[in-house]
Structure 1
């Protein structure tokens, strides 16, 4: 598996025209960079309440299916990543109302890195509505990630583009 290439000029690349430049990467990597998909999907991505999470995840799943119908693996993969991100963000807010796990700012030399970096961790709380939103997105993410058409296109994409590098 090739790592997501962070060195590309994402503002100037249309990945619908250049799927050869897309790397799946890990987890949610690139979900907010890959155009035109980010701009197509982001307006529909919401998780504040279970009702909005349900509507959002269903809409994104329908977009995922349309991308698959068009044999557009990159679009389908970005839609899958938005579903995954819906789960992870809703889960974060279910545990930490402000979405922050640690007290204090990230030290300047640690920006862009994950982890506490010496900061104290906040106490976990529980927001049942956000937890339900997370469950809704997790179910949608699982459906997308296990879709046989998606799995076939992912395999094809890796063989065609990611094995050459």
Structure 2
């Protein structure tokens, strides 16, 4: 499977984004089940990243809810790329918070060696991870999301 973009797309010179509006060109977006493209797919990155945080419980809970609300808005507007990007941000919130929950400072490696996770090193980050996972599971269980993934692959091809 390739990355989240079909074909060659140049990157923005002063940032990590692709030089392409994926709202205008959804055919260039390739669905991946991971978090690839979360910091590159515009305009969704600019719409979702400012709300995303795992720093503290209250802001993170608000962020997860806001991102889920954006997911529903993208779904209502028929924007699969936005739906999938919102899913990626929820997934990223879960995975990042879990790393901080298990590893002091969120560092999984120390001097190139993988550290043993501590269960649970940071209980607040564990709660944040559970909140993001709750919203992520809601997206994954949404029949409209599954239909949108299938429709996008059928319309534009898939790996």
- TM-score (normalizing by structure 1): 0.84
Matched-pair contact (CA < 8 Å) for 1:4–1:26:
no
Between 46-55 and 13-22, the greater mean CA deviation after superposition: 46-55
Task: Name the CA distance, whole Å, in 1 between partners of 2:109 and 2:133.
Answer: 25
**How many Å apart are 1:5 and its aligned residue?**
4.6
Task: Name the CA distance, whole Å, in 2 between partners of 1:158 and 1:4.
Answer: 14
Query: Which residue of the partner structure matches residue 38 of structure 1?
Result: 45
Which structure 2 residue ranges, 5 or more long, are not aligned?
12-17
Query: Which residue of the partner structure matches residue 148 of structure 1?
Result: 143
SS of corresponding position for 1:12: coil
The equivalent position to 2:22 in structure 1, one of 12, 15, 22, is: 15
Matched-pair contact (CA < 8 Å) for 1:103–1:122:
yes
Which structure 1 residue ranges, 5 or more long, are not aligned?
105-118
Query: Which residue of the partner structure matches residue 115 of structure 1?
Result: none
- CA-atom RMSD in angstroms: 1.6
Task: Name the CA distance, whole Å, in 1 between partners of 2:31 and 2:106.
Answer: 26
Task: Name the CA distance, whole Å, in 1 between partners of 2:25 and 2:62.
Answer: 31
Within 5 Å, give how 1:81-100 maps onto structure 2.
81-100=88-107
Task: Name the CA distance, whole Å, in 1 between partners of 2:34 and 2:155.
Answer: 21
Query: Which residue of the partner structure matches residue 49 of structure 1?
Result: 56
Count how many residue pairs are aligned between Structure 1 and Structure 2: 149
Structure with larger RCO (C-alpha < 8 A, sep 6+): 1
Query: Which residue of the partner structure matches residue 14 of structure 2?
Result: none
Matched-pair contact (CA < 8 Å) for 2:100–2:106:
yes
Query: Which residue of the partner structure matches residue 132 of structure 2?
Result: 137
Query: Which residue of the partner structure matches residue 128 of structure 1?
Result: 123
